[in-house]
Structures are given as C-alpha cells and as structure tokens.
Chain A
C-alpha cells in the first residue's frame, strides 16, 4: 500500500500529533510505503489566490507551487487525513490544501460546457480520517459532521468507485480522561497495523 498521510495541527505536542505518530507507526509495522505531509510544518498557504481562481481550469503543470502535492495524490492508493475537528470540519489549513491542490487536472476534469466533473483519482482505494472532536458525538451529529461529509462524499466521488472509508474519531476530547485518550491512540495504531 502507498499511504499519503496529510496532517494538520499547529501544536507539535497535541493529541493529533500523537495520533499521527501512531498512524505512521502502524503503517510502517505493516510494511506499507508512507509519505507524510505536515501542512503546518511546511507552512502551507491555505488561501486560494485570485490568480488560482482565474486559472482554475488551466493545466496543473502551470502551477509549480502545488506540483509536489499533486504528485503525492497521484502516487498514493490510500489517503489518510489526521486533523482536529474545528467548527464541524477540517481546519482552514487543510481545507485550503483541498481548495488549492484538488484542482482541475489533478482531482477531476471539467469538460467544456458542463457542470459534471470527471474523477481523476480512481487509484485511491481507501480514505481514512483520524480526528478529534472537542464536543460530544451527539452535538456533532446535530451539527451534521461536515468534515466527515467533505471527506467521504465530496473527496470520495473523485476516487475509486469502490473506495472504502474508515472513520476513527475521538469525541469529547476537551473533557475526556487520559485512559480514553490512550485507548483512542491504541485503536488508531491497531487499525493501521491491520489495514488492507
């Protein structure tokens, strides 16, 4: 398996950082190839620029600043997103990675005079989300789990038609015990050790 792990948290000692380490440890133990993208560490710019907006249908070869990210997406067959859920969804820096990298010619094609896009990431067979929610599962259900829907619907439709999805979430992270945190990290590592 070729796993692209996209990680977004500003604090290197956060629970998400620990989860990221468990993800890579699990994948490495199972002998998978890993590429880790740490959006904060590389100071990824999340704001899609006016130029990018104007040229959003251009050949991605004309956009060198996203070339490496596009190559990573083309390379992987498993996409892993590790992030804290803020305001029901991915942090801005990860939303910006989607806005700027999942463009025409990388993630999809938009035929002329059409509203219907054609997927270009059909080699991606699995999407895994590892996330922490400050609030409870109930509150997140009421709010609608926007981040889950972005990953498992909006992104997934551009992947393989049989792309599988795996959701690993810790709810109530703001108030939960150390034991629950440890159990969550254990669950994450175990999942990645046995991921097929």
Chain B
C-alpha cells in the first residue's frame, strides 16, 4: 500500500517523532511504500490565506506549490496515518491547517451539482490516528476527543464505505513512565506491521 504518515510535533526527538519513526519502520518492514510528512520540519504554514479562501470554491482551489505536492500525495495514498499530540482536546493548529489547506474540494471531498459534500477519498483503505494526551483517559472521554472525531468522522465520511479505522492513544503522558512509553511504541509497531 501507499501510506502517507503525517506528523505534527514541533520538537525533533519528541515521543511523537519516535512514534512516527516506529510506525514508518514497521510499515516498510511489512512491504508498504511509506511517505512521511513532518509538518514542522517542512515549515508548513497553518493559516489558510485570503488567496486560498478566494480560490476555495473555484476549479483551482490550490495556490501554494507545497500544498499541491501534498495534495498529490493524498490523492495516491491508500492509507493515511496521523501522528500528533492532543492539545485542547484537538489537533495542533499546524495539522488542523494542513487539513484545511490540503483537503480542499477535489482532494479531501467534492461538491456535487447541488453543492452537497461527497467523498473524494475513496482510494483510502485504512485511516489511522495515533495521539498522545496530557489528560488521563476518563477525562479525555468526558471533555471529548475532538481531534479523533475530526479524523474518524469528518474525514472518515469522505473515504470509502469499507475503509477501516484504527486509533492508538497514550494517555496521561505527564506521569507515564519510560516503560509505558516503550510499551506504547511496541503497540504502534505491532499495529502498523499488520495494517
């Protein structure tokens, strides 16, 4: 499978970077073709510009060459893997902005003649989210996991009917031990090998 891994953490050497490394290695071992987008390392700009907003409902919604390159990677992907820390029950701004700017009409979804949203990600067969949380699991459940909802619902409804989803979360990382982290990395590795 063509797998696109999208990583959104500002610090090289972070746990999220380690997760993305493990995931990519395991996916390659399993014979997949993997492309990693480290959004911070690429200097990706989160805010949709006025030009992009003006072009959004036209036939050419993409203005920026970097966004065009990423949109091409999305169009050929058979699996999407998101790796990010959950901040404010949601994804970091850089990843939210990546979705807004790259998953434009014709890439992330399409409009039909009546202006209704219809799927454009039917080539995506696996949708995976891997996230670290400062809060313990029950607190995340009470407040709601809005990043997870965005990926597992808003993006999911634009993929195919039979797309399978996987979610891997490490909770309460402020008090997680080195063992907890290592066990989580191993879980990520196992999951990605058998994707």
Contacts and interface: CB of A to CB of B under 8 A. Distances in A.
Contacts of A90: 96
Contacts of B143: 149, 153-154, 157
B7 interface: no
B47 A46 contact: yes
A147 to B, nearest CB: 8
Interface in B26-61: 40, 45-50, 52-54
Interface in B131-180: 134-136, 139, 142-144, 146-147, 149-150, 153-155, 157, 172, 174-175
Interface stretch (A81-89, A118-126, A183-191): A81-89
A155 interface: yes
A135 B117 contact: yes
Contact of A92 (B46, B53, B146, B149): B46
B100 to A, nearest CB: 5
Nearest to B136: A115
Contact of B146 (A12, A88, A175): A88
A149 B146 contact: yes
B144 A153 contact: yes
Contacts of B96: 87, 89-92, 95
Interface string B83-122: 0000111111110110110010000000000110100000
Interface stretch (A21-29, A59-67, A136-144): A136-144
A23 to B, nearest CB: 20
Interface in A73-100: 86-93, 95-96, 98-99
Given A92-B100, A142-B157, A98 B150 contact: no
Contacts of A153: 89, 142-144
Interface residues of B, number: 49
A115 B115 contact: no
A161 interface: no
Contacts of A86: 48, 100
A11 B53 contact: yes
A133 B12 CA distance: 36
Contacts of B149: 88, 143-144, 146
A150 B157 contact: no
A92 B54 contact: no
11 contacts: A11-B50, A11-B53, A46-B47, A47-B45, A89-B150, A93-B93, A98-B88, A115-B134, A135-B117, A144-B153, A175-B115
Interface of B: 9-12, 14, 40, 45-50, 52-54, 87-94, 96-97, 99-100, 103, 114-115, 117, 134-136, 139, 142-144, 146-147, 149-150, 153-155, 157, 172, 174-175
* 3 closest residue pairs by CB, A with B: A92-B97, A96-B93, A146-B146
